[in-house]
Structure 1
């Protein structure tokens, strides 16, 4: 989407527009950031002017060919290569280009005070500044020059590293990065030279001056510091233009959680039970939900070397969802039983894969042989 500036020829009011359809209600100068080489075709459709670009985009300027009550017409201007600008001129039903040194050449002329002559409006500075006509040099007839642009709407922020938008930044999402990326959506009306400022939970500010490339993209990425483990990252943004600073955006948040969960497995021979104790409530990667006792059973008996039969039972501690009790039923009573929770077979709520935990024990009570010797 193109960034276009519309300047009222009489009041010099300036509006920045990011839409593909522009509706004029006054004779205006339409200043684009395009070059004529970007244009495939310019056509007239009734009172409208349609610009078809090489990249497939189309811009429609409604009422372009309508004259105002004093006969003023609108003018379309492109970026120049030799001179500062190139004006679109309409002759014999076709568009051509004319070189311009400054936009003031397109403004109406008025009767000179006390001379009866004519000349350019005295409060228009010659030349051009980025984004539109220069500020007024003085006042004449109540005209004090171009008005300040309006304060823009707040930008929008999104923590890019939080890829699943779950409010947690895990080890996989952060990786070896030294900063967190914040995507800031630029509000309509922003121009090159405006400043986006991102602020984190500590009040630290990260300013970024917008370029035309940023404006064309509609967004910009700002890198912020990674908070400490377990800390809540909170980011907001404002945009400052010539009219002032916007309100603060709605925040985006994510907690840094990069430490992998662990599990310990112990055996109590007095009870004949194993205890599988996770550091966090274990999440099944296949379902995205907490493990059930039946799923823990399937996990530990699926490996033949564990020597666990189908009559093995698993229960969860009613007061602690991180702790499971396993009562083994060995396939081969003459062999040891192993309880193994493999690495990556479970996750914490942040999506960090868990580390391995295992233990092996002889769960078969020893036998006692008694011999009776007759007297």
Structure 2
């Protein structure tokens, strides 16, 4: 990805240092893109955005680059000469030409909307202090060093007093950002950095809290001047011996040292239950009248901030108990007092709006409560009582002016007071309603409705990254383009913030476009289902079922394409439970290899499965005869053989036969053939063995093997096989016995 550095024209402070595909511009800026102009395929205006397409296919979008009067921004590209080329556009957004400048500092706030003036193109800036009070050199180089965090940034400038010197051997490569971690108390920072570099730890105001030099192994340890705790952030950077400074590493102090707020608690009339509100996840303890004995708890505050505690023994009428909140770090709150038969719950803070002149405050609070407004010195400058709907209006005398701050306190009929709340003229603390938000099918554009004049922000649900923003029009509608498309069920949250900074609750949107191909078809199995129970046919297995059944798993709604020996033969749908089945066509005996590929509802192809191989065996169908005059047994199954004719054949006089079988050949001779096996008994058993004259049964032209075979005298059975034309055989008139 291409590096993009954005600096403020007015303050020359770094605003962004990113490789994102989309950059949102919120003030007149200098944008430096780390590629030569020869690598640009096109630059096109789209609405108020500039879309840059590189020759390698990469796309960069600069949001809000254009206004109705052109562009307040300067877009610069590095030149081989060490200077910069600034793109100049007309009011329609068409590229006119590139203007060369020696230093990016020449692109300060005096630049016009269409490019550089001739004076600015030839200006020479000397070291010193500009009109804005900023001491700088004349060069603002590529790769501005970010030295701050959370919107606190500085810009590193290099002096160019020696610009004519040979800098061939000068180290211009900054060290990598240091690895940094705080100890559990937030007092010691340790980690690794470039060997010999100096590691600095600074707060967000730029104050150095500690520094150390990385040793020969790159390790360092810094004892900080003050502990970093309770979510405070510090910035860690490394500076090498050549003066190059790394990118920042931001570290957050996680130790919790702040006591939770006092509980809002109330005892029931029976004194056996205490309910209230407190910090989510904290533990609640209830103490008896002596303030030492635990008579309730600990219980954990629910996710909605509420709790209930059973008290044993119950508080009696007139008795007081205390409630203490303990957070996960062991910090304990002030004790909140509860008393049987008395209201001890403080009212909530009011929802208020302060007039622009600072002379009126309107709002909503607990019905019948008193509202007091104090100035910065604590003097009451207005008060009122809420009506039975909770509405109130307070006239302030003197009014709050010039952004002067006041404090509002609510007191209910029982004398309980709310937490104090700060108010400022022209501001309110009423959050707008959650915005209506609709994401397009591609996951790139959000449209909707919200409070007119409010600001819409779309942030990743996963990490809070800002994906896009827009201002709501006077008609309450908005449209914004996301810096990164939401796809594959990725979630984002949409917020509306009014001019007073109040933020609405979130509206969640989901990217439904599918960009991930399905995986291989899984858990493929084959079954022989000819019997009453299914028999598993393993991979490389054998079966006598000529129409086996396949089962498997896939992506719900996908289509599974089935290949037999590399050729497509069928397709089936995956059901809502992710399962599919397929029964093959009639398969002749032989070996087969099946593979499967699924294509999802978006048309994305998955990989072909590993082959599933098996062999279909020949099926032999038999009819047994225990003696020459018995009937055909029940397991006789000759598909196209006439049962009566077959019975005639089997009952023909064959006196020396004990049994024989008739089998349907899988490779018919003429039409259908039979194989007759004559099984001779062992002569040692005393049974007759002699000559069989099959010609007495079969016509001469039906014989396909020797006639008059004699049964030898031996202990093993002997098989005589004769292939006959079944159609001709069954046309003979063979008498029944």
Query: Given the two structures, how large is their TM-score scaled by the length of structure 1?
Result: 0.36
Query: Given the two structures, how large is their TM-score scaled by the length of structure 2?
Result: 0.19
Highest CA radius of gyration, 1 or 2?
2
Which of 1 and 2 has higher RCO (CA within 8 Å, sep 6+)? 1
